[in-house]
Amino acid sequence: MTEKLDRDSATPLYIQLADVIRDKIQRGEWVPDQKIPSENELNQIYGISRMTARQVLARLVDEGLLFRVQGKGTFVSRRKISTRSPSYQGIREQLEQQGYATETEVLTSTLVDADARVASALSLPEGTQVYNVRRLRRVEGHPISLHESFVPRALAPEMLDRDLAHEQLCTVLDRDFGLRMAGVTETLETTTASPAVAKLFGTRAGTPLLLLEQRIAAPDGTPFEFSRISFRGDMIRLEFHYDLT
């Protein structure tokens, strides 16, 4: 049964309609990636103007509950997964504790010469040999993040012999090479997916991403890992907690 809007209420119709749509999403009547009624259809169903329908949809897109696809319509967004920075706890461990099934695919694991940026982040001479590991992480079968890490070969010899698809890199570095995380410098910014990254994520080029860069150091201050993690902005939300007491 279609919910009716109360025209005698002091609550504006556009707020009532927004609440109706939110309720349908929260109750699971409208599910992620489902196309919802168009502006014209909402006009016919609820007896509102097309301008009001457009206003409501725009508001819910801004809230992240809906998304638009040019030429196709408006769809229900996937619920974003909340995680903390990996410096607190590995992303995979966080996701699994929340009950999600995860999978990690190692795309690249090789030895390379550090370019200027990697060398600077790790306080090494340019050209120093470092391990380069790229991993694609999936949740419930959906790609959500791309991890690219650089580790000096001298600090973790034979690191590539470890099972980096089933073990977290931070665990391997700590347990097998004594590289314990003691200091982390992070930067977080928005970016967009290149065609190559979009192909890995199964999205369109230009899709919004969150880019988290980390420079991780041991207790003696020696940097031992530089990572760039690209998160799908439509699926992941990063949380930061501060205890200022």
Largest CA distance in the chain: 74
The string over 121-149, giving b where at least 16 C-beta atoms fall within 10 Å of a residue's C-beta and e elsewhere, is: bbebeeebebbbbbbbbbbeeebbbbbbb
Note the pLDDT of residue 93: 75
Note the pLDDT of residue 235: 79
DSSP structural state of residue 168? -
Note the pLDDT of residue 195: 95
Note the pLDDT of residue 90: 67
Q: Give me the phi and psi of 56, to 5 degrees please.
A: -65, -45
Note the pLDDT of residue 88: 62
Distance CA 189, CA 145 (A): 15
Note the pLDDT of residue 243: 67
**Coil vs helix vs strand at 122:** coil
DSSP string, 51-111: HHHHHHHHHHHHTTSEEEETTTEEEEPPPPEEEE-TTTS-HHHHHHHTT--EEEEEEEEEE
Tokens of 171: 């665990």
**Coil vs helix vs strand at 197:** helix
What confidence tens digit (pLDDT) does each residue in 83-102 have?
766 666 667 777 777 777 78
Distance CA 181, CA 196 (A): 31
- Contact indicator for 47, 88 with CB cutoff of 8 Å: no
Using CA atoms, how far residue 77 sits from 66, 130, 221, in Å, is: 5, 39, 43
Domains in the chain, ordered, with CATH? 13-76 (1.10.10.10), 81-239 (3.40.1410.10)
Distance CA 216, CA 226 (A): 6
Note the pLDDT of residue 245: 66
Distance CA 109, CA 160 (A): 7
Give the CA angle between residues 41, 47, 51 to the nearest 5°. 70
Using CA atoms, how far residue 44 sits from 59, 60, 167, in Å, is: 20, 19, 54
Q: How far is CA 112 from the centre of its chain?
A: 27
pLDDT tens digit at each of 245 positions of the chain: 457 788 888 898 899 999 999 999 888 899 888 999 999 999 989 988 999 999 999 999 887 788 888 888 999 887 777 676 666 666 777 777 777 778 899 999 999 999 999 999 999 999 999 999 999 999 888 898 999 999 999 999 999 999 999 998 999 999 999 999 999 999 999 999 999 999 999 988 888 898 999 999 999 999 999 999 999 887 777 777 666 66
Cross-strand bridge partners of residue 190: 210
